[in-house]
Chain A
């Protein structure tokens, strides 16, 4: 009889590996394309605004913009990874191959979210690398950069799991993406400091958790931000815990996966 090696963590590691391999096999679409999109944003906005706008007193607009673009791309791609993988698997029916094995819902959640974070980090790193030749950028507090990148990716990865499980068709997922994720990221201060907004819109921005992800992430580069990085960390941390709890509760109930 051929020898087989069994390990408790192999199931989780395999699902994570499969999810990473899935986006890596089509990296032209899943990594390169979003990097190109962000680069186009950077080039267009820098051409139009760089000489006219400074932020936090002396920071050039393009320098301000790049971390925002990095985080926006990271967040959107983390969401896209788990949501698209799950809805494709549900619609084609091959989700059964993940549901039949002895994987726990915790392993299921961790594998999909970590794969999403990894795709987000790949895309974010790509945007940063292609943007750096065009801007002057400092890295004041790298640890803050990393913490917000990881937490932001995990939040959007969790939202992607929720959306992927909830949506029964691509149209519903597109609705979730276009009417919730996209407005929240675009109105989160990626392209501007909220101090440049009227008071009303500053207050509205504070109700948007995405604003705190971008602002905290940007603090890691400049050592300056619209609100305290500790406040951002608290909002982002609590958001992650709540979303993780919600996602795990859905998975534990078998919502739309185990009828």
Chain B
């Protein structure tokens, strides 16, 4: 079995009385597209910061490609590219200068061919010699992605990269990140857009109050937690409510069930009760429901 891309063992972190991480255990396999989800304050950014060496945990160990982030920090940091959540930039430099400097920090000189390739992939070639201050927010966000890639890290962490980003850029960014994943990079993503996580991530960990409260493949999570739903518009909504449905506006009543096999018996009972089904919609399980349910149970 190959080395995990990321290994997190019993990591704890306090900020005064606040417990940001309360014993997190996690492994991300090489080549995975992994989602790290949780409400604000769940500890996602603290965990990423600990991986990147920006935060020192109180206990536990973290490894990137087998390199301990404290004792073997040089190799751990070379293996990791981080796209930070905040839109930060150095106002003194142009895009190309910044990427050359960032390459140099990682010990790499003569990196222009790769820098040109990243700029082209992120549609930044025309802005290569423009000062960072003159770029739009979306462009700055792309430069942050470019900065995380200059040293060709096998593991890339994106901390809410699409927060406040328009649809076009978001789609372009995901196409690029998918390509990186296909090329063999391990991707770890935190996001509040659950539909993005559902579409992109093969496996997901959910954090709450510094603990992992769910960790499984996206498919398994959808199977395990989410219920299917049936929405029907009834001539007699009260009859539907009497059968356990939740009344909505305009005669609509919502039913939740675990399997499509239950639909037939439910419709039969509605018919027997004389509810009069006028319209019907089936609801697929989605990650948002899973998320809500996991957070309520945890």
| B126-146, CB < 8 A from A | none
A41 to chain B, nearest CB (A): 29
Q: Which of A2, A4, A102 contacts B73 (CB 8 A)?
A: A102
Q: Is the CB of A5 within 8 A of B108?
A: yes
Q: Within 8 Å CB of A89, what residues of B? A: 90
Q: Quick check: is B52 within 8 A (CB to CB) of the other chain?
A: yes
Q: What residues of B have a CB within 8 angstroms of the CB of A2 in the complex? A: 111, 113-114, 117
Q: Does B89 contact A (CB under 8 A)?
A: yes
User: How many Å lie between the Cα of A6 and that of B93 in the bound state?
Assistant: 23
A-B contacts counted at CB < 8 A amount to 102
Stretch at the interface among A74-82, A92-100, A196-204, A243-251: A92-100
Q: Are A103 and B105 in contact (CB under 8 A)?
A: yes
- Kindly supply a per-residue 1/0 record for chain A positions 1-19, scoring 1 wherever the CB is within 8 Å of any chain B CB and 0 otherwise: 0111111101101110110
Interface residues of B toward A: which range?
35 or more
CB <8 Å contact, B54 and A102? no
B-chain residues with CB within 8 Å of residue A10 when the two chains form the complex: 104, 107-109
When C-beta atoms are compared, the residue in chain B nearest to A98 turns out to be B105
| Complex CA–CA separation, A100 to B147 (angstroms) | 11
- The 8 A CB mask of A28-55 against B (1 = contact, 0 = none) is 0000000000000000000000000000
- Measured in the bound complex, the distance between the Cα atoms of B109 and A7 in whole Å is 8
- The interface residues of chain B lying within 8 Å CB-to-CB of A18 are 101, 104
In the bound complex, what is the Cα–Cα distance between A6 and B82 (angstroms)?
Answer: 20
Q: Which of B85-100 contact A (CB under 8 A)?
A: 86, 88-93, 97
Inter-chain contacts of A3 with B (CB < 8 A):
110, 113
Q: Is the CB of A259 within 8 A of B107?
A: no
User: How close is A11's CB to chain B, nearest CB, in angstroms?
Assistant: 5
Task: Compute how far the CA of A92 lies from the CA of B107 in the bound complex, rounded to whole angstroms.
Answer: 25
Nearest A residue to B117 by beta-carbon distance? A2
Instruction: Tell me which residues across on chain B come within 8 A of A11, comparing CB atoms.
Output: 104-107
Q: Chain B residues with Cβ under 8 A from A15's Cβ?
A: 104-105
0/1 interface trace, chain A 110-145, chain B, CB 8 Å (1 if under): 000000000000000000000000000000000000
A94-B114 contact given A10-B108, A15-B105, A100-B77, CB 8 Å threshold: no
* Chain A neighbourhood of B117, CB < 8 A: 2
- Is B251 on the interface with A (CB-CB < 8 A)? no
Is A102 within 8 A of B84, CB to CB? Answer: no
Which of A4, A22, A258 contacts B108 (CB under 8 A)? A4
* 0 or 1 for each of A204-218: is its CB under 8 Å from B? (1 = yes): 000000000000000
Which residue on chain A has the smallest CB distance to residue B98?
A: A97
Q: Is the CB of A5 within 8 A of B109?
A: yes
For the complex, give the distance between the alpha carbons of A83 and B89 in Å. 19
Contacts of B26 in A (CB 8 A): none
Q: How far is the CA of A94 from the CA of B84 in the complex (A)?
A: 10
By a CB distance below 8 angstroms, the chain B residues around A99 are 52-54
Q: A26: which B residues are within 8 A, CB to CB?
A: 92
Report chain B residues within 8 Å CB of A103.
105
Is A21 engaged at the interface, CB distance under 8 Å to the other chain?
Answer: yes
Question: In the bound complex, do residue B52 and residue A100 qualify as a contact, i.e. CB atoms below 8 Å apart?
Answer: yes
B84 nearest in chain A by CB position: A96
Cβ-closest chain A residue relative to B89: A94
B53–A96 CB distance below 8 A: no
Contact of A21 among B89, B92, B107 (CB under 8 A): B92
Residue contact A259 to B54, C-beta cutoff 8 Å: yes
Q: Is A57 an interface residue (CB 8 A)?
A: no
Is A14 in contact with B105, judged by CB distance below 8 angstroms? yes
Closest chain A CB from B105 CB (angstroms):
4
**Closest Cβ neighbor of A24 among chain B residues:** B92
Q: Which residues between 53 and 98 of chain B lie within 8 Å of chain A, taking CB atoms? A: 53-56, 73-75, 77-78, 80, 82, 84, 86, 88-93, 97
> Which 4 A-B pairs give the minimum distances between C-beta atoms?
A14-B104, A2-B113, A101-B105, A93-B88
Given contacts A17-B101, A93-B84, 9 further A-B contacts (CB under 8 A): A4-B152, A11-B104, A11-B107, A93-B88, A97-B102, A102-B73, A102-B75, A104-B74, A258-B54
Q: Pull 17 A–B residue pairs with CB atoms less than 8 Å apart, ordered by A.
A: A2-B114, A2-B117, A14-B103, A15-B104, A21-B97, A25-B92, A93-B84, A94-B88, A96-B82, A96-B88, A97-B88, A97-B102, A97-B147, A100-B77, A100-B80, A102-B74, A103-B105
